[in-house]
Amino acid sequence: MGLPLDRLVAVCLALALARGSELQEEPRTRNHVCSTWGDFHYKTFDGDVFRFPGLCDYNFASDCRDSYKEFAVHLRRGPGQAGGHPRVESVLITIKDDTIYLTQKLAVVNGAMVSTPHYSSGLLIEKNDAYTKIYSRAGLSLMWNREDALMLELDSRFQNHTCGLCGDFNGMQTYYEFLSEGIHYSAIEFGNLQKINKPKVTCEDPEEVPEPESCSEHRAECERLLTSAAFEDCQARVPVELYVRACMQDRCRCPQDSACECSTLAEFSRQCSHAGGRPDNWRTASLCHKSCPGNMVYLESSSPCVDTCSHLEVSSLCEEHYMDGCFCPEGTVYDDITSSGCIPVNQCHCKLHGHLYIPGQEITNDCEHCVCNAGRWVCEDLPCPETCALEGGSHITTFDGKKFTFHGDCYYVLTKGDHNDSYAVLGELAPCGSTDKQTCLKTVLLLTDNKKNVVAFKSDGSVLLNELQVTLPHVAASFSIFQPSSYHIVINTVFGLRLQVQLVPVMQLFVTLDQAAQGQVQGLCGNFNGLESDDFMTSGGLVEATGAGFANTWKAQSSCHDKLDWLDDPCSLNIESANYAEHWCSLLKRSETPFARCHLTVDPTEYYKRCKYDTCNCQNNEDCMCAALSSYARACAAKGVMLWGWRKSVCNKDVQDCPSSQIFLYNLTTCQQTCRSLSEGDTHCLKGFAPVEGCGCPDHTFMDEKGRCVPLAKCSCYHHGLYLEAGEVILRQEERCICRNGRLQCNRVMMIGQECAAPKILVDCNNLTALAITKPRPISCQTLVAGYYHTDCISGCVCPDGLLDDGRGGCVEEEECPCIHNKDLYLSGERIKLDCNNTCTCQKGRWECTQYACYSTCSIYGNGHYITFDGKHYDFDGHCSYVAVQ
């Protein structure tokens, strides 16, 4: 219906009264930009240009709807230095839940200083030599030259919803800014209305001051500057008159011999670029000259979307804004990563977790192979192992990512082979609090070798193999068990299953399967087929609708009762627990905590919810809260982000309780830093496990058999089941061996008058002309197999370089080394038969054996007749109680 008559008359009157220096109007060309520049000049979204000399905090532009406000931009100007233009001292931007505070040198996001470029949740903050730029997917972009000029662009969906110095964005000049309800406001009055009043801060409003009469004398010069050939492409795009008037105001208020009009000329150039024009380089050596560092050049119209190496990785968020400033020549970008000036794009480095990678460098993890190419990672997917987790005693995440909560009271099948019974993993859930809704993981069972071996992992840390307790590490044919820290036990199998058992503060389990098992498993961990929708597949082959209905079908004991889904929120039952949970669990989401380093890699939302649930539901709420926090830390570690120091302010009661000589570490791996590992090599190094927390040895020390961290020189040596102290000497055959740096180092004993049979040579280390071995190498097939490498001179009859002692007095190449079995030597390539159906082949001094599972029987029969597991027959007529097997 249009405007009411009285308002229509008021609008027409205001348009007729709008005049000259105080208020200027721009034709409606591009209504998405508001800006401020130079000597307190402002341009609203609707095209009004005015001057407001305020030095307080002001609402530059805000979403002013009564409901949820999506953004706000506040600014504060300060007086110029040495008679120069006033500067924008700070900008405060709020976008949804994020707060960004900018000064000339700093960028602070949610209270924490950040380096640029900074990217998070659809927000990009960038800096180059000319501008600080902010882009938000909420529909806002802002550019600040860190001096006097600020430009804000909004998405059109904010039309008619803004307020502040930028106006209401309703597409109508003057109306509602300088004319409201028939009242006409001056620029000073309008600006003062936008002041942000802060407690205990006093800031005086500017007062009306008559415009100097001498401004008109500068019109001709300003017109000449703004209509020069450099701005030819701008004349039809930007209303020149508005900037002529601003230029006149600059000149008449300017100290003599100062180029105050430069800021208005620069703003005219920016507005022209934003309107699609391409201004030429209007600056000269005598007019507003700008110098640039290095090999950069000053351009009036260049896109900041491709100006730095860092921007290449996130440039998809950037919108094309052609701006003035120092830029690299065409075909190059500024290397803000290594500060090498302008370089070709293909020479840009890549960054990952704070580390730099040169172009062409490759990295590979469990799921991706990536190559650094022109500042971007180019990645291809690899067959990816997946992990099923049982956390907090009730929260299950399947291999395919489906999450559900189930409070069980039984043994349940977590995962097992779909088509055979080669292995299975069971978990015992049981109530562990004052109600049956607080449940804990009590036991994990691994059934392997067609269920003939049963390994039980108890919550107290004990490990039982077929009901007999074992000490760790334990290595068997089809599985191995290590304990990298007092907090964790890891299990590796030859069939692609890996288990990580967390013991402290509560028992939690992480089951990882290689991609080869995809679609071939079943149980509470789902079927691992890449789809969440069918993960509630019951043991009977149907898909259930609820977690409890699904889980009840995977009970391993028929005597257990079915459990029901519990949908209540435990935090709604106790306000004190709810407050405690919120206080500590919110650490996961806050930007100033160590957890924030992982927010871009692992979303903390689900972990925060589970943390609150468990903390409110748990009788010992601190342990449950700490278990939830540690789950997030583990998820981050699995992605390569180590949350060092997260236990400094929370869950730190065990950090100070490490045994003497050990320290608490966040990155313990299954490549154990032990003295024994120096002798046994890779058998103590399991791959595919996330780093874990716990007590371990400081750098450059190793754990000995007594649990002490010692330097390398004090490491004991492990030899044939025995430990030798550092420096201890043993004699074997013709060798004198000493324990040094965790390894046995052996020299042959020199015999007086000894002569050597060819091809061996005699070496006397006491003779200055002795032939000394100058690089680490084995001297015999036996030392090659044992991994003993000599670094010092060896006296005696030894084989020449390139040959090894074969143990029979001869010298052979490594490929021809024989193997030993029952004190007999076998040539390379010879085979022997082992137990039921396994054979071993001699290769380079080592036996390579098949791994088929075999089982033996010990028999006791008749009157004292015995056959051992290994087939030895003997008689023993004893009359007492004896241990048959242990």
What residues does each domain of the chain span? 5-192, 216-274, 386-554, 570-657, 856-886
Question: What confidence tens digit (pLDDT) does each residue in 544-555 have?
Answer: 989 999 999 999
Q: For the residues of 811-834, what is the DSSP string, one character each?
A: EE-GGG--EEETTEEE-TT-EEE-
Q: What are phi and psi of 859, to 5 degrees?
A: -120, 140
User: What pLDDT shows up at residue 30?
Assistant: 45
Name the token pair of 335: 């290397």
List the beta bridge partners of residue 482.
Answer: 490
pTM: 0.54
Report H helices in 158-288. 187-192, 219-226, 240-253, 262-274
Token duo for residue 157:
């969906």
Q: Give the pLDDT confidence score for residue 216 in this predicted structure.
A: 83
Helix (H), strand (E) counts: the chain: 12, 63
CATH top class, domain 386-554? alpha beta
Distance CA 784, CA 778 (A): 5
Show contacts of 698-703: CB within 8 Å, 24+ apart: 698/663, 701/661, 701/673, 702/673, 702/674, 702/675, 702/677, 702/678, 702/742, 703/662, 703/672, 703/673, 703/674, 703/675
The torsion of the CA quartet 693, 699, 700, 703, rounded to 10 degrees, works out to: -30
| Residue closest to 706 by CA, chosen among 660, 663, 664, 743 | 660
Distance, C-alpha 248 to centroid of its chain: 54
Q: What is the pLDDT of residues 364-398, one digit of tens each?
A: 876 788 999 988 889 888 888 899 999 999 999 99
Task: Tell me how far CA of residue 643 lies from CA of 112, 646, 662, 750, in angstroms.
Answer: 17, 6, 20, 56
Q: Which of 253-267, 335-349, 494-508, 644-658 has the lowest mean pLDDT?
A: 253-267
Average pLDDT over residues 34-48: 90
Residue 8: what pLDDT?
39
| Residue 579: per-residue pLDDT | 94
Is residue 340 predicted with pLDDT exceeding 70? Answer: yes
Name the helix (H) or strand (E) containing 768.
none
d(CA 776, CA 787): 11
Contacts of 798 by beta carbon, 8 Å cutoff, 6+ apart: 748, 760, 761, 763, 779, 805
Task: Return d(Cα 492, Cα 471) in angstroms, integer.
Answer: 16
Asked if residue 547 lies in contact with residue 404, where contact means CB atoms within 8 angstroms, the answer is yes
Judged against a pLDDT cut of 80, whether residue 708 lies above it is answered with: yes
Task: State whether residue 333 is helix, strand or coil.
Answer: strand
Q: Which of 79, 82, 131 is nearest to 104 (CA)?
A: 131
Residue 791 has pLDDT above 70, yes or no: no
DSSP 251-276: HHHSPTT--TTHHHHHHHHHHHHHTT
Ranges 20-29, 128-137, 237-246, 699-708: which has the least confidence = 20-29
Which phi-psi region, left, alpha or beta, contains residue 200 (left: φ > 0; alpha: ψ -120 to 50)? left
Q: Per-residue pLDDT tens for 183-241?
A: 788 889 899 999 998 888 888 888 887 777 668 888 998 999 999 998 988 998 888 99
Query: CA 441, CA 439: separation in Å to the nearest integer?
Result: 7
Give the DSSP per-residue string, 724-755. Answer: E-TT-EEEETTEEEEEETTEEEEEEPPPTT--
Say what the pLDDT of residue 164 is: 92
Distance, in Å, from the CA atom of 436 to the CA atom of 158, rounded to the nearest integer, reads 52
| Neighbouring residues of 356: CB distance < 8 A, sequence distance ≥ 6 | 337, 338, 349, 350
When the pLDDT of each residue in the chain is averaged and rounded to a whole number, the result is 83
Whether the Cβ atoms of residue 621 and residue 605 lie closer than 8 Å to each other? no
Q: Positive or negative CA dihedral for 107, 112, 113, 119?
A: negative
Question: Which has the closest alpha carbon to 166: 61, 240, 237?
Answer: 61
pLDDT tens sequence across 153-190: 998 889 888 999 998 888 887 666 777 777 788 889 89
Q: Which helix (H) or strand (E) covers residue 676, if one does? A: helix 675-680
A 10 A CB-CB count for 837 gives 10
Helix (H) or strand (E) holding 363: strand 362-364
Q: What is the pLDDT of residue 770?
A: 44
pLDDT of 12 > 60? The answer is no
| Structure tokens, 686 | 């399991």
pLDDT mean over 706-712: 90
Tokens of 22: 């105080």
Tokens of 240: 């020149």
Torsions phi, psi for 720 (to 5 deg): 55, 45
Q: Is the pLDDT of residue 411 over 90?
A: yes
DSSP character for 234?
Answer: G
- Residue 417: is its pLDDT beyond 70? yes
DSSP string covering 834-886, please?
-SSS-EEEEETTEEEE---------EEETTTEEE-TT--EEE----S------
pLDDT on residue 11? 39
